[in-house]
Amino acid sequence: MDSEPADPDDPSDEALTELVNYLTPRRDNEMIATYQNTTAIACPVCEEPFDYLIASKGPQSSLSLDEVMDLCVSVSDDDRAFLFTHE
Ligand SMILES: [Zn+2]
């Protein structure tokens, strides 16, 4: 079977990086950037409004969470993880 190329109409990667433009930057370090969702944008994974977006800047990141929370995770085409937190 031939392997199918990635669907060029798949908007998910562009949507992930574009989403950041609508969020408020909070914390930033070498590995991750954190943004606060001050306008109740829906999480692209579960479609409920999320509280923070934690965007990794490379294929590997570590982060420490202050508290246990619900997370949704999406990975962009360049292997960066985007974590959406829900209280
Ligand atoms: Zn979610």
Enumerate the domain spans of the chain: 12-59+68-86
Calculate mean pLDDT across residues 34-46.
96
The alpha carbon of 12 and the centre of ligand 1 are apart by a number of angstroms equal to 14
Amino acid at 3: S
Look at residue 14 and tell me whether its pLDDT is greater than 80.
no
Instruction: Return residues with CB closer than 5 A to ligand 1 (ion).
Output: 43, 45-46, 72, 84
**Residue 18: pLDDT band by 50, 70, 90 thresholds?**
confident
**Taking Cα atoms as reference points, which of 73, 80, 78, 81 lies closest to residue 6?**
78
The alpha carbon of 74 and the centre of ligand 1 are apart by a number of angstroms equal to 10
Q: How many CB atoms lie within 10 A of CB 31?
A: 12
> What per-residue confidence (pLDDT) applies to 11?
55
> What per-residue confidence (pLDDT) applies to 20?
92
